Amino acid sequence: DAKTTQPPSMDCAEGRAANLPCNHSTISGNEYVYWYRQIHSQGPQYIIHGLKNNETNEMASLIITEDRKSSTLILPHATLRDTAVYYCIVRLAGPEYGNKLVFGAGTILRVKS
């Protein structure tokens, strides 16, 4: 299984960009990187995903290095409501894995005023 490594916690000032790093050095060529976040006692919320190109949506941007061994999630203007646990996940390829999402421990992002 491809594993991900994230810092356990990060702080960010309100209104500033939050940059959350993730290492996934064993990722296979057809496996996608997904980002989810979880606010306490709720189900994880999808943020964004990508394969090798950078991606952007209304919530965030995803920057994937050329060798695909790491990525960065960018929240351009963090608000207090962005305080959550952020999970960087590799979706395993192949029917034998059921395309399952493999979660790590995640990064606790604290946005402070």
Partner 1 sequence: DGGITQSPKYLFRKEGQNVTLSCEQNLNHDAMYWYRQDPGQGLRLIYYSQIVNDFQKGDIAEGYSVSREKKESFPLTVTSAQKNPTAFYLCASSSHGLDTEAFFGQGTRLTVV
Binding residues vs partner 1 (CB under 8 A): 30-32, 34, 36, 41-46, 49, 51, 87, 91, 93, 95, 98-106
Tell me if 10 sits within 8 A of 109, measured CB to CB. Answer: yes
Nearer to partner 1, 1 or 67 (CB): 1
The β-bridge relationship of strands 9-13 and 107-112 is: parallel
Find the shortest distance in angstroms from Cβ 106 to partner 1: 6
Find the shortest distance in angstroms from Cβ 15 to partner 1: 28
Place of tokens 């060529």: 29
Nearer to partner 1, 15 or 28 (CB): 28
Tell me if 8 sits within 8 A of 22, measured CB to CB. Answer: no
Residues β-bridged to residue 88: 35
Find the shortest distance in angstroms from Cβ 44 to partner 1: 5
Nearer to partner 1, 26 or 46 (CB): 46
Nearer to partner 1, 16 or 52 (CB): 52
What distance in Å separates the CA atoms of residue 45 and residue 56, rounded to the nearest whole number?
16
Find the shortest distance in angstroms from Cβ 111 to partner 1: 20
Comparing CA positions, the residue from 68, 11, 75 lying closest to residue 48 is 75
